[in-house]
Structure 1
Amino acid sequence: MSDWDVIIVGAGAAGLAAAWAARAEGASVLVVNKGLVGRSGATITSGGGISVAGQTLISLGLAGDPDDTEEKFLNDTIRAGSFVNDQHLVESMVVNVGAELKVFLDRGNKVTVSKKPPGHSSGRGVRIPGVDMQRVMTQAAVQAGARFREDFQSVGLLRHDDGVVGVAGLDRRTGEVEAIHGRTVVLATGGTTSNWRLRTAPEELTGDGHAMALAAGAELIEMEMLQFLPCCLVAPDIWRGLQFPWIIGPQGGYRAWLLNRFGERFMANWDPVRMELSTRDMVSAASATEVLEGRGSPNGGVYLSWAHLPRDIVDNLPRHSPSIGKDWRWEGFDMTPLVDQIRAGRAIEVAPAAHFSIGGIRINTAGETGVPGLFAGGEATGGLHGGNRLSGSAGAQILVQGSAAGRSAAKAARGNKVGAPAQNWAYLKDRIEAPFRRENGVVPLEVKQRLTGLAEAALGAVRTGPALEKALAEVRDIGATVVGELSSRNRDRVWNRDWSDALEVQAAVPVLESALLSALGRSYSVGAHQRHDWKGGKPSALHHGFVGQVGETLAYHSASVEFPFLSPASP
């Protein structure tokens, strides 16, 4: 089949929800994925939480708080986002997530309900392990008749006039550069966290969809907003980014102590009541501030210690976590050597790790980007969570937005012409092949490492104006002088990692430039965006920040936040 009604880029839960919904509308669907389906993406690494209002849970036959309404869920989400949310997106998630969860239940899947997940005013946390969620969604999409293409690295969107008519990319298995034509495209490519050195997410989340959307004429929103997870390991390299200390520490409710290099419990300066059990964003900001002000550990983190606890308490930690085995195995890792250090009374080095992209492609509740034929959903999009994300709301977002984008794309495909010629195919093909043709030039991996270092230094849990300005200048210089010199040392077309790295660098540069422009455009601290050089307290007014492509350059603009349901002045 040469032309598809709907092409979906990304096979995580958002992409699979889109595939399922598009097939229900009668559309032919092709899902293209950079890696193997079910073996790549963020869904399989997630805890699988899905937030649903208590009354909705009861209507589905689950244990829920009868006093917990959709309105309370909406209010919690907006307050957690520091009122920077697109409140219409919040309403859509809150109102529609119950119907999406029902699909899981109707297929006989078992779920558990949390008594009170962090940040929520009620027990609305439904847990479906990420691996199970991926399996259920994949089976449903396959049974619905969606087709799949794995190991296809999407790089650009095919254009006809002002609309999108397909995807261009590299087939990693054959080494061929191909154009896949379709009437509509849904971007479900996940976040951008792979552009940070210390991260919890898989390595393929480089922001490919964001870069493709920008080039096609869509806008990005709140790109400076990135959620960090505190207390992740910084060393050794094999464990770098693992959140295991957070689980057997503050997230598990255990009173481990965060210390700077002087042995001070610095959380007393930030939240003297909750201390280390404070919110994720506050613990992240506090830890990053200690490092920024010169009180960090040797590897750029802070210390986490259980030394004040009796040995038998430490020995019993895994018994209260379903994700940790009694032999200290967690998500395939044997954590015994680390636990032995803890038992010996040693502190371990931890730091905030890039965890979830709050900002992303700008959409409306139908998943429309404003570019004809282009839709998006899930972590690739921004606006819903505002300045910060509640636990479990990623799962709710993925299901609701993925389904909405799939339905909208299928309906739009009915009116689109078949086989509209791609006017930019020659340009995209040349751009994709250029690094392979260039035998001598810049090593892509070295540029990736340079970019992740810039992101870590300037776009961490705490930012400063001078660091942002310096990083922006360097990223722009890389885009102007280095990207065009990227070269593949490997001369084989099949499974060429150098070539793939070069294409990911092409995407990472505009993504990071967008984040830096947005961070500079928001001079005040709000939500996950904490400016160390902001001393003004709460800002007098809030704005949305947008980045779009104007000619060959990226431009930033802002607009005041609207409050249709809840305002900062509300009680």
Structure 2
Amino acid sequence: MQAFDVIVIGSGAAGLTAAWHARAEGASVLVVNKGMAGRTGATITTGGGISIAGQTLRALGLPGDPDDSEEDFLVDTLRAGQFLGDQSLVQSMVTGIGAEIARLVALKTPMRFMKRAPGHSSGRGVHISGPDIQRIQLQAAVGAGVRFLENFQSSGLLQDREGRVVGVTGLDRTTGEVKSSAANAIVLATGGTTSNWSLRTAPEELTGDGHAMALQAGAELIEMEMLQFLPCCLVAPEMWRGLQFPWILGPQSGIRAWLLNKYGERFMARWDPERMELSTRDMVAFASANEVVEGRGSPNGGVYLSWAHLPRDILDNYFRISSSVSADWRWEGFDMTPLVERIRAGHAIEVAPAAHFSIGGIRINDAGETGVPGLFVGGETAGGLHGGNRLSGNAGAQVLVQGKNAGIAAARFAQQNATHAQPGNDAELKDRILAPLTRRDGAAPSETKQRLTRLAERSLSPVREAVSIKAGLDELADIVANDIPHLSTRQSERPWNRDWTDALECQAAVHVLHAALISAEARTSSLGAHRRRDQPTTSDAPLSHGLVRRAPDLVQHRFEPVAFSLVSPAA
């Protein structure tokens, strides 16, 4: 069994940042990743916004609003999350992002300086494309001596008899071997859980593996009912399903496109008559999904977005105000010309909210500690920072700051607490991983994944109510009882066995969806991204965090009052 000071699971911006900083602390570091480093994960698909206060930018010698303070940035973030965010985590992000931007500048990272992003009170932030930040971070980690294990599907955390995390077990997809690697500390940076929804903006790897492993190891999850849906994403054609280009070409950039139901009604007038389509993302997502639920949607299960009322000059000159779309309609590597020509011809485009970002996740403090010895977390895998909703650009700041903090803390823990303790659960984890491969008859993993996806779309959509949440819990119980123990592969070949990898993702997804469902059931009123159609108003009760922890024989949910250590909602 290979041994390292620190193993980082995940090779997006959070994982690579953690790996670089852990290596800078003198730790030996291995990054394991489900796919190829630099070609998988959410970072490479991101729009690239990174929030940072204007005064912090100016202190670095970069362009920034001199009136925009870190305090303004903090208050904007807390207000956007309806003051449910962990104020210590928010402060850590706001004050810590400057050092990481300085590091990226030193690495000669291409960046542009942003105009005012939605929800922010000032034009704060920088823009670094997803491919650029992934490339720069990967080169820096390799140059620092970080080692990599690609196409490794992590499925369980090794723990000693006292519960300390001492390594990871998983499947080497290329060889079909079940392997374990030992470590003095683990950093989870596996991204979010959005791949459990079929209409999504993120790639397919984000099934919540890290969340499931952490929960099984004894960590708490926080605000798992909070999932950010991005409105105005394409629902058709299939090859472009989930692309957020209509949102970029419309409300995200301030272009006054109109959202219409099948009767041509601008339905946002019923929800936010002043801002209309420029309302907050959670409100636009809820309103769009509600039109579908109430039978006023478009043929493919969305609503219409139209630019037909605008002069063509507005669209023709869009590239002049855009930081991500070129004059020939190239966006994020896609040629959007066919879609734009359809818009120019006066056609409306079918759009719907897509699962975009996991606001909830594993509970941490500002050092990335989870309360489980040896286990650290950063980036979208972590919860608690954004509260009820996330501001544009704050994910970029989060992954960099929390990646750094978790990497440094993990390296120091590893060096001060070296262990040669033998894991007590190695055989158990390997048996669970191997179980689907030993069966030829039973539940087909691809069909179980589809069941889980349909469940998530019905019960954890932007529009929720008690009856649909209860139906989701009932169906999940059936899947856990009748599918998960009987998952089987249709072929015995071990390398690149898609049935086998799907089965392992199903094993993780049931834990993630169960935590989200019981959290959604417990929060009976609307708050932030959690919109209850049967209780559309926010409760007057004191704000509380929703927490999920695994007890010996069940998973428990509890509420804990929010601590207003820096700013009160009444301020």
TM normalised by structure 2 equals 0.98
State the SS of the aligned residue for 2:153: strand
Check if 1:156 corresponds to 2:156. yes
Select between 372-381 and 106-115 the one with higher mean Cα deviation: 106-115
Aligned residue number for residue 16 of structure 2: 16
Residue 136 of structure 1 deviates from its aligned partner by 1.2
| One-letter identity of the residue aligned with 2:142 | V
5+ residue gaps in structure 1?
Answer: none
| One-letter identity of the residue aligned with 1:174 | T
Select between 152-161 and 318-327 the one with higher mean Cα deviation: 318-327
Residue 322 of structure 1 deviates from its aligned partner by 4.0
CA distance in 2, matches of 1:190, 1:536: 31
Select between 537-546 and 156-165 the one with higher mean Cα deviation: 537-546
**Structure 1's 535 and 306: CA in aligned 2 closer, same or farther, altered over 3 A?**
closer
State the SS of the aligned residue for 1:169: strand
Aligned residue number for residue 377 of structure 1: 378
**Kept in 1: contact 2:54–2:125 (CA 8 A):** no
**Structure 1's 537 and 496: CA in aligned 2 closer, same or farther, altered over 3 A?**
closer
| One-letter identity of the residue aligned with 2:370 | T
Residue 107 of structure 1 deviates from its aligned partner by 2.0
CA distance in 1, matches of 2:2, 2:380: 29
Spell out the pairing of 1:19-418 with structure 2 (5 A cutoff).
19-161=19-161, 162-418=163-419
Map Cα deviations across residues 165-202 of structure 1 (whole Å, 9 max, x no partner).
Answer: 00000000100000111111010000000001110001
Map Cα deviations across residues 464-516 of structure 1 (whole Å, 9 max, x no partner).
Answer: 11100110111122112210111111321111111100000000001000000
**Kept in 2: contact 1:248–1:318 (CA 8 A):** no
**Structure 1's 322 and 564: CA in aligned 2 closer, same or farther, altered over 3 A?**
closer
State the SS of the aligned residue for 1:284: helix
CA distance in 2, matches of 1:173, 1:371: 31
**Kept in 1: contact 2:33–2:150 (CA 8 A):** yes
CA distance in 2, matches of 1:197, 1:42: 16
Residue 536 of structure 1 deviates from its aligned partner by 4.2
State the SS of the aligned residue for 1:414: helix
State the SS of the aligned residue for 2:233: strand
CA distance in 1, matches of 2:509, 2:117: 33
For the aligned residues, what is the CA RMSD?
1.3
Select between 2-11 and 477-486 the one with higher mean Cα deviation: 477-486
State the SS of the aligned residue for 2:156: strand
**Kept in 1: contact 2:389–2:529 (CA 8 A):** yes
**Kept in 1: contact 2:82–2:389 (CA 8 A):** yes
Map Cα deviations across residues 124-161 of structure 1 (whole Å, 9 max, x no partner).
Answer: 12111111111111111111111011000000000102
| One-letter identity of the residue aligned with 2:227 | L
**Kept in 2: contact 1:78–1:85 (CA 8 A):** yes
CA distance in 1, matches of 2:65, 2:339: 39
Map Cα deviations across residues 237-272 of structure 1 (whole Å, 9 max, x no partner).
Answer: 111101111111111222211001111000111121
CA distance in 2, matches of 1:408, 1:438: 42
Map Cα deviations across residues 407-432 of structure 1 (whole Å, 9 max, x no partner).
Answer: 11111112334432111011111100
Tell me how many residue pairs correspond in the alignment.
570
**Kept in 1: contact 2:308–2:343 (CA 8 A):** yes
| Identity, % of aligned positions | 66
CA distance in 1, matches of 2:159, 2:180: 11
Residue 44 of structure 1 deviates from its aligned partner by 0.6
**Kept in 1: contact 2:527–2:538 (CA 8 A):** no
Residue 537 of structure 1 deviates from its aligned partner by 4.5
CA distance in 2, matches of 1:248, 1:473: 40
Map Cα deviations across residues 21-49 of structure 1 (whole Å, 9 max, x no partner).
Answer: 11111110000000001100001101121
State the SS of the aligned residue for 1:31: strand
Structure 1's consecutive aligned runs of 4 or more residues displaced over 4 angstroms after TM superposition are 535-538
CA distance in 1, matches of 2:265, 2:388: 29
Residue 461 of structure 1 deviates from its aligned partner by 1.1
CA distance in 2, matches of 1:240, 1:109: 31
Spell out the pairing of 1:514-533 with structure 2 (5 A cutoff).
514-533=515-534
TM normalised by structure 1 equals 0.98
CA distance in 1, matches of 2:339, 2:154: 39
Residue 282 of structure 1 deviates from its aligned partner by 1.3
